[in-house]
Amino acid sequence: MHPAVSPSRLAPLAALALLTALAAPAPLAAAAPARRPNVLFFAVDDLRPEFGAYGANYVKSPHLDRIARAGVTFNRAYCQQAVCSPTRSSLMTGTRPDTTKVWDLETHFRTALPNVVTLGQHFKNHGYFVQGMGKIYHGGFDDPATWSVPWQTPRGPTYAKPENVALTQRNVQAEPDGDRKVKKNSKRAKKEAARGPRGPAFEAGDVPDNFYQDGKVADLAVSTLREVSRKSEPFFLAVGFIKPHLPFVSPKKYWDLYDPAKIQLAPNKYRPKDAPDYAILPGGELRAYHGIPADSIPDDLARQLKHGYYAAISYMDAQVGKVLDELDRLGLRDNTIVVLWGDHGWKLGEHDAWCKHSNCENDTNVALLLSAPGLKQTGVRTNGIVEFVDVYPTLADLAGLPLPSHLEGMSFKPLLENPQRAWKQAAFSQYPRPASGGRPALMGYAMRTERYRFTVWTGRNEPSKIDAIELYDHQRDPQENTNLAKLPAHAALVDQLMAQWRGGWRAAGPR
């Protein structure tokens, strides 16, 4: 016994020690581990970066803008191929079209990559509950390995108006797939025949939101959030909306948000000067709809089409809002990564063309918004160049997951931490063209640097053979109206960009 402590004081001191021990905090090792962030993953079909978050305040998109205010808007995000299945396959596998071997709408990425671990599959393998609904992969494609439970899509009518429904009952005719006819008896042709002929390109139905498919998907997402919020593991919820994909249909209240007299038409209704004739095609996808002429679209019809497109964005935006509202109501927002992406860009009359299916800026520049817990800067835009193959590694990085070795992109988490910093030197996209008129089948490989778009068209069967080159100076010609590649004054620049292009994506990372 310590000589300074008398026996009479021992009991009180022991009691005090016991109380102090009971009141002390638990050792650090016993603390509960931090819960990994949830992921709410919105995929949107044919959404070009033209809405409020991108400065286009004439497009009513309060809920997309709400994601932007809580996170980062990417001004220079690019897809790897501007058509549905290739771009979605690329984003979900984190690999590029020449790796997935998906350059069309008929090929599943598992044919070339049977063992690849997809984005959702990677999260599932690391303890996440992963569920998908709506359009995530293209059309009827799915990938069961991606999900913890079967993917599902509630279907809704395409049209609300009886006269438009009647149009779809006409005899089935061959329909274009992008800018080429669907091969007879191909998988794609059979799918189109099963769908039947198409009605008009736009509609404003006097119906509630959940009459059409996107409203039904939003309702399913809301109910699913309630279920997954009760699970012990974090969740990855993928929600795919089909609007503003053709046909541009929406409930009438969204059509009524717009004054047709204020809708501006494309300023460059002509093809790029000195570009190869196959670089941009008219947009056969649109021509498959009732009442659309085979040649140039007259101004009054173009204005109606843009009206329908904007209304469809506002309709989709409202569905996003319903899901975000439920996320907030459940108290999940502070620990949830929210990412929204449009699968590729879209032409609305630029270059006297519509739809996608090219390497031009209108088609490859995409909408990408991301908010995440703990961001130091929110409500900001970044000009750092990113690609869709970067989404997979970024989400994994933000969630603290290891990065698979097969990825062909890189995490842009450092760009989220400092949106003003320099980032990638270039983004890479591609688009094929079939053989035509004695010309062999081609693949156009595009490189977008900070200032230039540089596209090299090579033979599909002879990659070393160059058929044409395109060069556009975005500092002087942001609409890509004049191809400079053939001008002698730009020969040195072409050589410089060709060397960079040959270095490819592996050499284009941050310096």
pLDDT of residue 94: 98
What is the reported pTM? Answer: 0.90
pLDDT computed for residue 196 by the predictor: 43
DSSP character string of 334-358: GGEEEEEEESS--EESGGG-EE--S
Average pLDDT over residues 208-230: 98
Q: How confident is the model at residue 169 (pLDDT cuts 50, 70, 90)?
A: confident
The pLDDT assigned to 182 comes to 42
> What region, left, alpha or beta, does residue 9 occupy, with left being phi > 0 and alpha being psi -120 to 50 degrees?
alpha
Q: Which pLDDT tens digit goes with each residue over 2-24?
A: 333 333 333 333 343 333 333 33
Summarize the confidence of residues 222-250 as an average pLDDT.
Answer: 97
**Using one digit for the tens of pLDDT, what is the confidence trace for 470-502?**
999 999 999 999 999 999 999 999 999 999 999
Q: How far apart are CA 469 and CA 501, in angstroms?
A: 12
How high is the pLDDT of residue 140? 78
The answer to whether residue 357 scores a pLDDT higher than 60 is yes
User: What are 407-442's pLDDT values in tens digits?
Assistant: 999 999 999 999 999 999 999 999 999 999 999 999
Question: What pLDDT is stored for residue 187 in this prediction?
Answer: 54
Q: Which amino acid is present at 69? A: R
pLDDT band at 511 (very low <50, low <70, confident <90, very high): confident
Ordered by start, the domain boundaries in the chain are 38-424
C-alpha 97/C-alpha 95 separation (Å) is 7
- Average pLDDT of the chain, as a whole number: 90
Assigned architecture for domain 38-424: 3-Layer(aba) Sandwich (3.40)
Which two structure tokens, joined as six digits, stand for 396? 């994994």
Mean pLDDT value across residues 52-70: 98
What is the C-alpha separation between 234 and 373, in angstroms, rounded?
A: 14
Catalytic residues, which ones? 84, 138
**Band of pLDDT at residue 25, cut at 50, 70 and 90:** very low
The pair of three-digit structure tokens given for residue 187, joined into one six-digit string = 């998988």
What span, in angstroms and rounded, lies between the C-alpha atoms of 374 and 376? 6
- What does the DSSP assignment read for 113-177? -TT---HHHHHHHTT-EEEEEESSSSTT---GGG-SS--B-----S--SHHHHHHTTSPP---EE
**What mean pLDDT is predicted for residues 439-452?**
98
Please check the confidence at residue 405 and state whether its pLDDT lies above 70. Answer: yes
Asked whether residue 29 carries a pLDDT value surpassing 80, the answer given is no
- Report how far residue 74's alpha carbon sits from residue 92's, in angstroms, rounded to the nearest whole number: 19
Q: What is the largest CA-CA distance in the chain?
A: 109
**pLDDT of res. 34:** 67
CA dihedral sign, ordered 175, 214, 236, 426? positive
